[in-house]
Structure 1
Amino acid sequence: MSNGPMVLAAAIVSLVSLLPVGFVIWIGIQTGWETASTLIFRPRVGELLINTALLLAVTIPISIILAVTLAWLTERTDLRGARIWSWFAVAPLAVPAFVQSYAWVSLIPGLHGLFGGVLVSVLAYFPFLYLPVSAQLRRLDPAIEDAAASLGNGPWRVFFFAVLPQLRLAICGGSLLIGLHLLAEYGLYVMIRFDTFTTAIVDQFQSAFNGPAANMLGGVLVVCCFGLLGLEALLRGNERYARVGSGAARDPVKYRLGLLAIPAFLICLITAGLSLGVPFVTLTRWLSLGGIGSWRLDLIGMALGQTIIFAVAGALLTTIISVPMAWLSVRAPGRFQRIMEACHYYVGSLPGVVVALALVTVTVRVALPLYQTVFTLLLAYALLFLPRSLVGLRASIAQVPVELEQAAMALGRSPAQAVRQITMRLAAPGVAVSMALVGLGITNELTATLMLAPNGTRTLAMQFWSLTSEIDYVGAAPYALMMVLLSLPMTLLLYAQSKRMGGR
């Protein structure tokens, strides 16, 4: 089968994916070293760097400790109601981070600064660590722990010296994901009044449209993202984690908590109460205060309709442009294909504000008719969520035997027809999952939508943000509730995928 059309299509997407980095380099060259150095090496940038470093240095370790503790309790102990607590540990993903901060700020108006940012960040993002760690615990060979225990090690030494090293990949991957979210988050830190690069960039953009200061801050933010990627790769290392044999075909032994049962129960209860109880109580309070009058069905219906339209259209576009690369990575892997695949993945690690700035600059200076159009907004969504779609598609295509494509071509189908009519039909469940993940990610996207949406656009996130900016917490509550309800399917999907990854 000729790979030419697929390679060409994947190469075009890869080149478009390089647009944000190209934008940063181009703006840096155009600005000139003297001006750029003045904008970068100034006290404000140093303050933002310190804030960002402190946020990462405090939030990620706390998230690791909390996630590993919850994963161990729900997967490896006789904790009562472990399945329920496991679901409660994933459910906070259904609450967008800026809705989480809205709940806490409206409950405790004085919650500001680094402490508030760390508290809300941990509660909003620790499930990104819990999911891979719990899945990895379910996959571990119990013989590893048996061997460690047979050498005279107690339960604590077995955990720290035999189990924890095996969780290294899951912890590094989850920590990277949390770190990238911390660098990209906007709404959460604006409400907590904690300055980060993203909040500063959006402020600069709004005060001085597409000014050089915002662009230079965007360049520093890109360097921070790449630095985080490099640090994760360094910490991950090259150790081998796969076992040679098939391992023991049995479930791991559940440790008896004994006197620790009550503290373990309290850890799960407090975590669920802070991450789910506070948003639930706050939303219930504001909805009850607003009554039926807060439900402006015409405005809510319009925002809901626009959100769903953007989510479906963005998911469809992202899936379509992901197909060539997903197919090549499975059917024709090679060095050039791996380079193109890396381009697809890297853009997903960039904050939405950087992607939006790049598209604003290109459309304003090169293609002005495309500025603040639906096409530009959908392109931003496609770039931001390309990795989500690619991962799901690649796994689905890999499960379709290549012989079926060959048989279809032998019967007169063209290569493109064989892929479309055979492979993609059989991969339909995985395609649907990928589209759902992308669509629901778009539902809660705020920064790029604020910067790129056409005039008159009113998504749920935009309406919620507009009302909370005016301290109209009663009016914002219905929009927050609708976003949570739309996010629940994604959370259920992630939970189900995690269970399948762990073999249960």
Structure 2
Amino acid sequence: MTIGIGETPARARQLRDRRIRYARVGVPALVWIPAATLTVVSLIPLLYLVVRALGGGEDTLATLWRDRTLVLIQNTMLLALAVTASAAVLSLPLAWLTMSTDLPGRRLWSVLAALPIAIPSYVGAFTAVAAFGPRGALQSLLQPLFGIERLPEIYGFSGAWLVLTLYTYPYIYLSLRGVIGSLDPALEEAARSLGHGPWSTFFRITLPQLRPAMTSGALLTALYVLSDFGAVSLLNFDAFTRVIYNQYRLAFDRSAAAGLALILAGLTIVIVTAERVSRGPQRYHRSSAGTARPRRQVRLGRWKLVGLAYCGGLTLLTLGTPLAVIGYWLFQALRTGNPLALTWRAAWHSASVSLLAAALAVVAAFPIAVLLVRYTGWLSRTVEVPLWIGYALPGIVTALALVSFGARYLTPLYQTLAMLLLAYLIRFLPEAVGSLRASLLQVSPHLEEAGRSLGHPPLRVWLRVTAPLLWPGIASGGTLVFLTTIKELPVTLLLSPIGYDTLATEVWNATRELFWSHAALPALVLFLVAALPMGILTWRQQPAEQRRSAAASDRKHTGEPETSTW
């Protein structure tokens, strides 16, 4: 029997008995019916792939058994593992600096650290090539100073690893940030009182509490890498998505492409299973009665400059580089007299449909998160895996599946906004589920039991008690869905209603014709539209106590003792 943080063996037995009682009562209909419905909907792309692959017969099998398929598996898994590990290494100190320390301007840094997720991968890849490529801007600056005529190639694995790390680490950062702000400092103080130093306390007490958020964000990062097409295509790295796209659009062989996509779905199952095993059965809420006190800031002391350099250098790479390249495109467009046409209706379409998708995903994620956390068992395992498969499949696969399904069975909804929102829900629902699950693990079921013991129905208890405590997860999940929806390209191109242009489609239409100056303004507005709500949510998400302490840290220290000093 595994004992959670702060639990005694007797307390662990009580929690085990509670889970047995939950199992005997059964999963409420308000939980399992929506969860099962969403699972069936998420299986539509997978069923489409199976039908397509079976239609190819022996040709599909011959394609799958080629040596190149094994190379694709190795390339894709290696890239996913490398990006996930490096994104975790970047995110953990960044989340700690912006949530637990007296870093100057930490609220601003917390907003800037989350904004790279608003930049599409294909834009990030091209700007990286323009800045750091063999003949890029950096080489132009170094040549007159040091005589460097050519920089190393950025194409291939190294370039894809760099770009995807820089623009996917916010998945882990946002999950960690939402949990760090709600940690109870009593556990850390108890460890310090027993003689443990700052590092020992962090690795033995704090880091285990962050594991649900870390694994949820890492899962999102790994599956995003599996489904990404823009970066690997522009940087000439052979991953599954690039080969699948070429099979669909260039070879016109949809059966072979469906077979390759099924292998990608199999890799998704492997990654999800590994995440479930690493997650473990531990619980992360308080076992005893009482109210968690707000965390005090850690004084960085002489390490402030190191923290500022870390945050500033990362912001320069992730935001400064693409914005500088986009600004150069704008300057070139103005200098040459090219029109800077921008459809403001496209900006409204992008913002409105992304907000609708985010709200829909958060509402749909509630019953799934409850099922995964409160009612663990065969049903939760059955529900969870199909959701992640839909997230990991390339957007073009999901779009083509819904095109086929809508044309045959949902004709009234074909090429309507409802069908587009359904595709977004299949693609990005796991982002909201992961954030809500990580936050729900921090909420003790005692609170819900107390509400029900007072005669309140379960739904009212959830709305009045649990939902307010899940606000960090709700904000993080909704933000992730909004930002990934606003830059989604294949689904929008194939399923949007006629004449429903978005900023992503305008950028794509310009860049595929190599009119980069024409794409500059839509790309800049796309970033600004995504950055505005992201900044507001991240800024307002700071707890009230942290706001007061942040204001106090701008003045001279008053001499009040802090939890620890570095």
Q: TM-score, normalised by structure 1?
A: 0.78
Are 2:346 and 2:502, in contact at CA under 8 Å, matched by a contact in 1? Answer: yes
1:261 matches 2:301: no
- The aligned counterpart of 1:18 is 43
Counterpart of 2:184, as a letter, is D
Residue aligning to 1:350: 392
Q: 1:115 to 1:388 in 2, by over 3 A?
A: closer
Aligned counterpart in structure 2 of residue 200 of structure 1, from 237, 243, 258: 243
Matches within 5 A, 1:183-332: 183-209=226-252, 211-245=254-288, 246=290, 249-252=293-296, 254-258=298-302, 260-291=303-334, 293-297=337-341, 300-301=343-344, 303-304=346-347, 306-308=349-351, 310-311=353-354, 322=364
1:98 equivalent in alignment to 2:122: yes
Structure 2 partner of 1:413: none
Alpha-carbon distance change, 210 to 380 in structure 1, aligned in 2, over 3 angstroms: farther
Distance in 2 of aligned mates of 1:327 and 1:175: 17
Offset of 1:106 from its aligned partner?
Answer: 2.3
Structure 1 residues 152, 444: CA separation in 2 closer, same or farther (over 3 Å shift)?
Answer: same
Decide which of 41, 51, 58 is 2:65's aligned counterpart.
Answer: 41
CA contact (8 A) 1:461 1:483 kept: yes
The answer to whether structure 1 residue 463 and structure 2 residue 506 are counterparts is yes
**Post-superposition offset of 1:498:** 5.2
Deviation at 1:141, TM superposition (A): 2.9
Give, in whole Å, the separation in 2 of the partners of 1:323 and 1:112. 38
Query: Are the equivalent residues in 2 in contact too, given 1:131–1:498 (CA < 8 A)?
Result: no
Q: Which moved more, 1:204-213 or 1:144-153?
A: 144-153
Q: CA deviation at 1:133?
A: 1.9
Q: CA deviation at 1:223?
A: 1.1
CA distance in 2, matches of 1:327, 1:154: 35
Q: SS of 2:104's equivalent?
A: coil
| Shift of residue 72, structure 1, vs aligned partner | 2.4
Q: Pick the aligned partner of 2:197 from 154, 161, 164.
A: 154
Aligned equivalents of 1:164, 1:75: Cα separation in 2 = 15
Show the counterpart of 1:411. Answer: none
Equivalent residue in structure 1 for 2:213, among 148, 170, 184: 170
Instruction: Describe the shift of the 1:385–1:191 C-alpha distance in structure 2 as closer, same or farther (beyond 3 A).
Output: same
**Cα shift readout 1:21-78 (whole Å, capped 9, x = no counterpart):** 222333344434x433311121332222222122122211111111111122233333
Change (3 A) 1:93 1:319: closer
Deviations 1:429-465 (CA, angstroms, capped at 9, x unpaired): x9x9788875554321112223445676643212212
Q: Which amino acid aligns with 2:520?
A: A
Q: Does 1:495 align with 2:538?
A: yes
Query: What's the offset of the Cα at 1:251?
Result: 2.3
Counterpart in the other structure of 2:97: 73
- Indicate how the Cα distance of structure 1 residues 205 and 376 shifts in structure 2: closer, same or farther if over 3 A, else same: farther
**Structure 1: which amino acid aligns with 2:512?**
S
Aligned mates of 1:61, 1:77 — CA distance in 2: 24
Matches within 5 A, 1:356-395: 356-362=399-405, 376-387=419-430
| Change beyond 3 A, Cα 1:199–1:129 | same
Q: Which amino acid aligns with 1:173?
A: S
* Worse-superposed segment, 338-347 or 183-192: 338-347
Question: Are 1:51 and 2:75 an aligned pair?
Answer: yes
Counterparts of 2:300 and 2:292 in 1: how far apart (Å)? 21
CA distance in structure 2 between the partners assigned to 1:315 and 1:85 by the alignment: 24
Give the drift of 1:271. Answer: 0.7
Deviation at 1:303, TM superposition (A): 3.5
Per-residue deviation at 1:230? 0.9
Q: Is the contact between residue 175 and residue 217 of structure 2 (CA under 8 Å) also seen in structure 1?
A: yes
Aligned residue identity for 1:239: Q
Change (3 A) 1:174 1:500: farther
Taking the aligned partners of 1:108 and 1:125, their CA distance within structure 2 comes to: 19
Equivalent position of 1:415 in the other structure: none
What is the distance in 1 between the residues matched to 2:172 and 2:370?
Answer: 30
How high is the sequence identity, in percent, across the aligned residues?
A: 31
1:58 alignment partner AA: A
The 10-residue stretch of structure 1 (372-381 or 384-393) with the greater mean CA deviation from structure 2: 384-393
Query: Residues of 1 paired with 2:52 and 2:181: CA distance?
Result: 48
Structure 2 CA distance for partners of 1:122 and 1:501, relative to 1, 3 Å: farther
| Cα distance in 2 between the residues matched to 1:327 and 1:57 | 26
Bigger Cα displacement from structure 2, 149-158 vs 169-178: 149-158
State the 1:492 CA deviation.
2.8
TM-score with structure 2 length normalisation? 0.71
Q: Deviations over 1:230-262 (max 9, x none)?
A: 11111111123223223662524514342x333
Instruction: Label 1:498 to 1:314 Cα distance change in 2 as closer, same or farther (>3 A).
Output: closer
Aligned in 2, Cα 1:328/1:491: closer, same or farther, shift over 3 Å?
closer
Q: Deviations over 1:250-293 (max 9, x none)?
A: 524514342x3332221111111111111221122211221284
Q: Which residue of structure 2 lines up, in the alignment, with residue 410 of structure 1? A: none
Contact 2:114 2:173 in 1 (8 A): yes
Structure 1 range deviating more: 465-474 or 333-342: 333-342
Bigger helix share: 1
- Report the residue type matching 1:26 in the other structure: V
Matched to 1:27, the amino acid is R
User: Is the contact between residue 437 and residue 490 of structure 1 (CA under 8 Å) also seen in structure 2?
Assistant: no
Closer/same/farther in 2, CA of residues 193 and 368 from structure 1, 3 Å limit: farther
Structure 2 unaligned residues grouped into runs of 5+: 1-27, 135-153, 548-566
Match of 2:106 in 1: 82
> What is the alpha-carbon distance in structure 1 between the residues aligned to residue 544 and residue 76 of structure 2?
33
Residues 283 and 438 (structure 1 numbering): CA distance in 2 closer, same or farther, change over 3 Å?
A: same
Cα–Cα, structure 1 residues 191 and 236, in superposed 2: closer, same or farther, change >3 Å? same
Q: Which residue of 2 aligns with 1:179?
A: 222
Give distance in 1, aligned partners of 2:436 and 2:102: 37
Uncovered stretches (5+) of structure 1, i.e. residues with no partner: 408-417
How far is 1:81 from its partner? 2.5
Question: What is the letter of the counterpart of residue 91 of structure 1?
Answer: L
Q: CA deviation at 1:357?
A: 3.5
SS at match of 1:238: coil
What residue number does 1:138 align with? 181
Instruction: Pick closer, same or farther for the CA change 1:314–1:145 going to 2, 3 Å.
Output: closer
Question: Equivalent residue of 2:343, what SS?
Answer: helix
C-alpha RMSD over aligned residues: 4.4
Work out whether residues 347 and 383 of structure 1, in 8 Å CA contact, stay in contact via their aligned partners in 2: no
